[in-house]
A = this chain, B = another copy of it.
């Protein structure tokens, strides 16, 4: 898990179809798409996930489903992202199988410690900064918290929460392997351009980090 990671938000897409926002963002350089839906029917979610999966295939960009292992299994998604209120990681791994990408959100240091023995594919460091798109959190990690996790954890880290062009580089330099954004792409007038700009910043920071 490295580079720019998109988490979808249907409401933030406004008039634009979510599927189009995703495709534009992928054309702009998004390396991973997490489909997150909270207020749609299971059938709608499955149809949407199947359509997006087929459109991502030519780009070789994985589709991750937020929370809903049933939807992920139904469409053969590449993986799932689970939070601390979602299915316990061990059960998710059992149902999804050894090849699936499974990411786990960590909101407290205890979450980080517990995750160390798990074969998760990445930790979602959530939130790095305060964000209006997710308010049910237990405070933000900040760059210091992110660095502390980087120094301790054996897992790849995806930073999420309040990330945009102005802070993406420092998040990478603090130890994130990937920068996840929601509104910075979903609410952008031009999702492709937003993804291009973010992706360039992230790649540049990753290069700087590997040289230092």
Interface residues of A (CB under 8 A from B): 41-44, 46, 67-71, 73-74, 84-88, 91, 95
Contact B87 A43 (CB under 8 A): yes
Copies in the complex: 2
**A contacts with B: majority SS:** helix
Nearest-neighbour CB distance to chain B for A199, whole angstroms, equals 32
Q: Give the residue of B44, B67, B85, B88 whose beta carbon is less than 8 angstroms from that of A85.
A: B44
CB nearest to A68 among chain B residues: B70
Contact A74 B87 (CB under 8 A): yes
- How far is B70's CA from A95's CA once the two chains are assembled, in angstroms? 8
- How far is B44's CA from A86's CA once the two chains are assembled, in angstroms? 8
- Chain B residues with Cβ below 8 Å from A87 are 42-43, 46, 70, 74
- How far is B40's CA from A87's CA once the two chains are assembled, in angstroms? 12
- How far is B67's CA from A73's CA once the two chains are assembled, in angstroms? 14
Other 5 A-B pairs with CB < 8 A, given A43-B84, A74-B87 = A41-B85, A69-B74, A70-B70, A70-B87, A74-B95
Contact A88 B46 (CB under 8 A): yes
